[in-house]
Structure 1
Amino acid sequence: MTILAKICGITDDVSARIAIDDSAGMLGFISFPKSPRHLDLERMAQLIANATSYTAHMNKKTQCVSVVVDPDDALLETIAQNVRPDLIQLHGHESPERVRHIRARFGIPLIKAISVESRADVLAAAPYEEVVEHLLFDAKPPKDATLPGGVGARFDWTLMEGYPSLRPWLLAGGLNPWNVAEAVSQSKAKMVDVSSGVERAPGLKDAALISQFLKAVKGL
């Protein structure tokens, strides 16, 4: 079984190239000031342009994702016009109606993140399916958390088993090179997303861990 891996929270060209070299399916670039992985849009645009060029040069298929939290239309317009990602990931409390509006107005493929604590949270993703390219299921953050994701928290992966999704979905939350095989086995995920699990410190990607994670995914 081929598993697609997304390396999220990329902040430099070196990490992007390592992930591309090791056949990551997606790279995530975050614009959210509270995140240690935050990029201003000018920096994000440059990193995505560089990654896109390198992907083409290496004849790879890695896609670039702009990750935002409850964005307004002005921010999305700037991303669509200046950053030009392959996809936009909505990682906030965007309602199905809001996501439908974003898709209709901007026409960029979307990933909608769903915070999970129970099976009911998983099933609540259904209204988004008709307007997104992918769903992403992440652990619900602690009540005192300032970030909606990327905090290393995980949820019960067996909650995903048998989920009748109409769209491809990614499993996120607390993944790392040592537990991704177990996560895939329990959840039956075909796509996985990692951020803090391949870092040596918050916001600082570790080249060896990126390669180790992608090697582990390839072995599944």
Structure 2
Amino acid sequence: MSVVVKICGLSTCDTLEAAVAAGADMVGFVFFPASPRHVGLDVAADLGKQVADRAAKVALTVDASDALIRDVVEILRPDLLQLHGHESPQRVRALKQTFGLPVMKAIPVATAADLAVLPAYAAVADRILFDARPPKDATRPGGLGTPFDWELLRDLDLALPFMVSGGIHAGNVAEALRVTRAGGVDVSSGVEHAPGTKDPDMIRSFIRAARASEELMT
């Protein structure tokens, strides 16, 4: 089984190059000022050109306005929109229609009850990303380095492609994939040596570990 590997929160040329050269399938850029991984439109334009067609570009926004998403789409030319806020299923559908791009909706998970919203989002999104539910006092919805109970996704019956995130790193990515049988993994803080500061060696190690885990899923 081929695993889709996404490196999210990239903001510099060297770490982006490390991700693409190591074989990342998706590279994510964060457009959310509260995040230490936030990039401005000028930086995003340069990074997007650097990627070219070597990986899929993902634009991550959090409860963003149409105006912001329009600017991001024009500058970055993303292949996928990642909605990481409280966007409703209706909002997901509307953004797909407005921008003509596939959408990956993040669903925060702490307990089995959090999966109750899954059918509504699965009906309109193109991908689902399961991430750890942030603490109530958190200032951002992801990138906090905290895993959730992957057993909640064991034997999940979902026709839609889905990925897992939250506290995943090179040392536990194989276990995350073994338990969830997810088609992809999304990492951000797990390849950083400080919040928002990616480490090229950690990026390469994570991608190697994710690729090695593919053999365990066949």
User: TM-score, normalization: structure 2?
Assistant: 0.94
2: distance between equivalents of 1:3 and 1:80?
A: 26
Does residue 4 of the first structure (1) align with residue 13 of the second (2)? Answer: no
Aligned to 1:218: 211
TM-aligned CA deviation for residue 80 of structure 1: 2.1
> Is 2:120 the counterpart of 1:127?
yes
**In structure 2, what is the Cα distance between the partners aligned to 1:117 and 1:24?**
28
How far did 1:81 drift? 2.1
1:16-72 CA deviation, whole Å, 9 max, x = no partner?
11111111110010011110101112211221121125x2xxxxxx20101000011
Structure 1 residue matching 2:179: 3-state secondary structure: helix
1:81-120 map, 5 Å: 81-120=74-113
CA distance in 1, matches of 2:203, 2:86: 29
Deviation at 1:120, TM superposition (A): 2.2
Aligned-CA RMSD value: 1.1
Q: CA deviation at 1:150?
A: 0.1
Percent sequence identity over matched residues? 44
After the TM superposition, which residues 37-76 of structure 1 pair with which residues of structure 2 at under 5 Å, given as runs? 37-52=37-52, 55=54, 62-76=55-69
- Alpha-carbon separation, structure 2, partners of 1:80 and 1:4: 22
Q: C-alpha separation between the residues in 2 aligned to 1:119 and 1:195? A: 24
Structure 2 SS opposite 1:124: helix
180, 185, 192: which is aligned to 1:187?
A: 180
Deviation (angstroms), 1:162: 1.6
Q: Distance in 2 between matches of 1:44 and 1:125?
A: 31
Tell me the secondary structure at the aligned position of residue 215 of structure 1: helix
- TM-score, normalised relative to structure 1: 0.93
Check whether the contact 1:122–1:137 (CA below 8 A) recurs between aligned residues: no
For each residue in 1:111-156, what CA deviation from the matched residue of structure 2 results, as whole angstroms up to 9, or x when unmatched?
1000001122124122112322211000000111111000001100
User: Partner letter of residue 43 of structure 2?
Assistant: R
Could you tell me how far apart the structure 2 residues matched to 1:81 and 1:27 are? 17
The aligned counterpart of 1:137 is: 130
How far is the alpha carbon of 1:76 from its aligned partner?
A: 1.4
- Tell me how far 1:189 sits from its aligned partner: 1.3
